[in-house]
C-alpha cells in the first residue's frame, strides 16, 4: 500500500522578491501553483521590523488554508527569523533546536505529519555558509538526537531545506550516504535553484529515506517564481510505503 503526497521546499528570502518588494501573498501564490501538501520554508521572518512586524509563517499558511510550525534560528527580543513547516494535514512538533554555528545562527525543525496510515518524519533546516560549519550541522542532524535516532528502514523520513551545499560538497556527501537526493531518483536532469533569475547552483534539496519513492522532482521555474524570491521552489511527488498491520482481534467471533 502506498500514499502519495507533494512536498515543496522553498527559501523565501523573508518574502522580499528580486524586485525588492516585500510580498508574502506573492510567495503564497507561487506555492499554491505547486499544489503541495507539505511545505518546508527557510528565511521566514516573524515580528521583524524590516518586514513590517508580521508573522510570515502564519500569514502564508493562512493564504494556503494550512497550519504552520515555526522555529526561530535567530531570536533577538521580539524579532525572529528561521524555518517553518506548513500543511493542512495533522502534525506534531517533535523537536526544534539550534545547530552548531559560526556567525549567523542556524537551526532545524522536526515535525511529524500524520498521514493516517503512517507518520512521516520531516526535518527542515537552513545550513551555514562555511564548509566546516555545514559538516558539523549535518553531523548533528544525522546523529542520535535527530535522524540517527530513527529506524529509517521502517519509518519514512524527509530532510529538506536550503543546505547551501552543492553535490560536490562534504556536507552533501554525508547526507547522501544515509538518504537519497530526490532530484537524482528520476530520469529528469537535476536543476539548480539559485539564484532565481538565472539559476546556477543546486543548493536546495529534498532527501528521502528508504520507505519513500520519488515519482517526480523538479524546480518550479516560472515568471512569478523568478521574482518572488531569490531562490526557486523545489517540488517532489513522493510515494510513501505503508506497512499493512494485522488486527489480532479481527475474526475472533467475540
Contacts of 78 (CB under 8 A, 6+ apart): 47
- CATH number for the segment(s) 2-241: 3.60.10.10
Nearest to 206 by CA among 171, 182, 231: 182
Query: Domain segments of the chain: what residues?
Result: 2-241
What pLDDT, on the 0 to 100 scale, is given for residue 251? Answer: 42
Report how far residue 95's alpha carbon sits from residue 83's, in angstroms, rounded to the nearest whole number.
12
> CB neighbours (10 Å) of residue 215?
14
> Parallel, antiparallel, or unpaired for β 91-99 and 67-76?
unpaired
Quote the pTM value: 0.94
pLDDT means over runs of 10, the chain (254 residues): 92 98 98 98 96 97 98 91 98 98 94 95 98 98 96 92 98 98 96 98 97 97 98 98 51 40
Nearest to 84 by CA among 190, 175, 161: 161
Instruction: Pull the grid cell for residue 2.
Output: 502506498
**What are the φ/ψ torsions at residue 88 (nearest 5 degrees)?**
-95, -5
Amino acid at each position: 500500500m502506498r500514499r502519495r503526497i507533494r512536498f515543496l521546499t522553498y527559501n523565501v528570502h523573508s518574502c522580499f522578491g528580486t524586485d525588492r518588494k516585500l510580498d508574502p501573498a506573492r510567495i503564497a501564490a507561487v506555492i499554491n501553483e505547486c499544489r503541495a501538501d507539505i511545505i518546508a520554508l527557510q528565511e521566514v521572518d516573524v515580528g521583524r521590523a524590516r518586514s513590517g512586524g508580521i508573522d510570515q509563517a502564519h500569514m502564508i499558511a493562512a493564504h494556503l488554508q494550512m497550519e504552520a510550525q515555526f522555529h526561530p534560528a535567530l531570536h533577538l527580543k521580539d524579532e525572529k527569523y528561521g524555518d517553518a513547516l506548513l500543511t493542512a494535514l495533522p502534525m506534531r512538533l517533535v523537536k526544534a533546536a539550534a545547530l552548531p554555528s559560526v556567525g549567523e545562527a542556524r537551526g532545524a525543525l522536526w515535525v511529524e505529519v500524520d498521514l493516517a496510515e503512517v507518520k512521516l518524519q520531516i526535518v527542515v533546516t537552513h545550513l551555514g555558509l562555511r564548509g566546516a560549519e555545514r559538516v558539523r550541522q549535518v553531523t548533528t542532524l544525522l546523529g542520535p538526537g535527530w535522524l540517527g535516532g530513527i529506524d529509517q528502514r521502517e519509518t519514512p523520513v524527509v530532510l529538506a531545506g536550503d543546505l547551501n551545499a552543492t553535490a560536490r560538497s562534504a556536507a552533501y556527501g554525508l547526507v547522501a550516504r544515509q538518504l537519497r537526493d530526490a532530484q537524482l531518483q528520476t530520469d529528469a536532469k537535476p536543476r539548480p535553484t539559485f539564484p532565481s533569475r538565472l539559476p546556477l547552483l543546486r543548493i536546495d534539496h529534498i532527501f528521502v529515506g528508504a520507505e519513500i519513492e520519488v515519482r517526480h522532482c523538479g524546480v518550479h521555474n516560472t515568471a512569478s517564481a523568478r521574482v518572488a524570491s531569490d531562490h526557486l521552489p523545489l517540488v517532489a511527488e513522493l510515494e510513501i510505503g505503508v506497512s499493512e498491520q494485522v488486527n489480532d482481534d479481527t475474526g475472533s467471533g467475540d
